[in-house]
């Protein structure tokens, strides 16, 4: 009898770590690494200096939190904007700037999107996410999942940037196992580069529409 494959919480966490590392590395054109060791924790927290979180629901429910130090937040933001061609003099210099929060929220959305695609393809179930939330804080804030979890589990993984700045990923979800009963083909996931390219194309289209609208409004004002 064929032994059925079992996917546990740690396997799901590994998928999430791969999404975080892959998307952020591609977006910043730098190396983002995660620790080979995972820490069991009792509760997820938003911690200083910059916390991002997103809830997901569907095949299983949970919460993803990423806590950046001010140095890590600025490094990720700066490298992303440089990779997008932003001039150096236009970059924000404080982690509390709205621009930093917007960029980290956008990246959080991309990496969780990559994670949900992995779940859909490899576990044959669907999860949906809400809009990521970001908060610059100077005190520890305890947050918990607002959905009922029968047997909640929480994990923390340490990440490091190319500049040796640290940030932490925390995952809270119900204790669950996925058991493969039959063989199936895993579809190829979108790569982080493809996800980033899609986001860049969206921005380019928005700028083009805004530029065309501005030109039309100017012509109308001139009566042409």
What local confidence, expressed as pLDDT, does residue 139 receive? 76
SS3 readout for 82-138: HHCCCCHHHCCCCCCCHHHHHHHHHHHHHHHHHHHHHHHHHHCCCEEECCCEEEECC
Mean pLDDT of the chain: 84
Q: Are 195 and 110 in contact (CB under 8 A)?
A: yes
Question: How many residues does the structure list for the chain?
Answer: 224
When computed from its CA atoms, the radius of gyration of the chain, rounded to whole angstroms, is 20
pLDDT at 1: 38
Main-chain phi, psi angles of 121, to 5 degrees: -80, -40
pLDDT digit string, tens, across residues 50-102:
899 998 888 888 899 999 999 999 999 999 999 999 898 889 888 888 899 89
Tell me the three state secondary structure of residue 57.
Answer: strand
pTM above threshold 0.85: no
Q: Are 156 and 168 in contact (CB under 8 A)?
A: yes
Matching residue, tokens 């494959």: 5
Q: What residues of the chain score a pLDDT lower than 70?
A: 1-3, 143-149, 184-224
């Amino acid at each position: 009898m064929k032994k059925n494959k079992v996917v546990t919480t740690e396997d799901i966490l590994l998928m999430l770590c791969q999404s975080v590392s892959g998307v952020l590395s591609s977006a910043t054109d730098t190396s983002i690494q995660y620790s080979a060791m995972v820490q069991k924790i009792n509760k997820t927290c938003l911690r200083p200096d910059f916390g991002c979180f997103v809830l997901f629901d569907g095949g299983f429910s949970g919460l993803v939190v990423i806590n950046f130090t001010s140095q890590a937040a600025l490094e990720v933001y700066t490298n992303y904007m440089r990779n997008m061609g932003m001039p150096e003099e236009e970059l924000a210099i404080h982690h509390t700037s709205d621009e930093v929060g917007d960029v980290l929220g956008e990246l959080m959305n991309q990496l969780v999107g990559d994670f949900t695609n992995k779940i859909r393809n490899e576990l044959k179930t669907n999860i949906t996410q809400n809009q990521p939330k970001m908060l610059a804080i100077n005190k520890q804030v305890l947050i918990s999942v607002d959905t009922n979890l029968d047997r909640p589990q929480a994990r923390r993984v340490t990440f490091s940037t190319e500049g040796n700045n640290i940030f932490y990923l925390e995952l809270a979800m119900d204790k669950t196992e996925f058991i493969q009963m039959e063989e199936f083909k895993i579809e190829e996931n979108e790569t982080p580069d493809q996800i980033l390219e899609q986001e860049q194309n969206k921005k380019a289209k928005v700028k083009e529409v805004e530029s065309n609208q501005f030109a039309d409004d100017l012509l109308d004002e001139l009566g042409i």
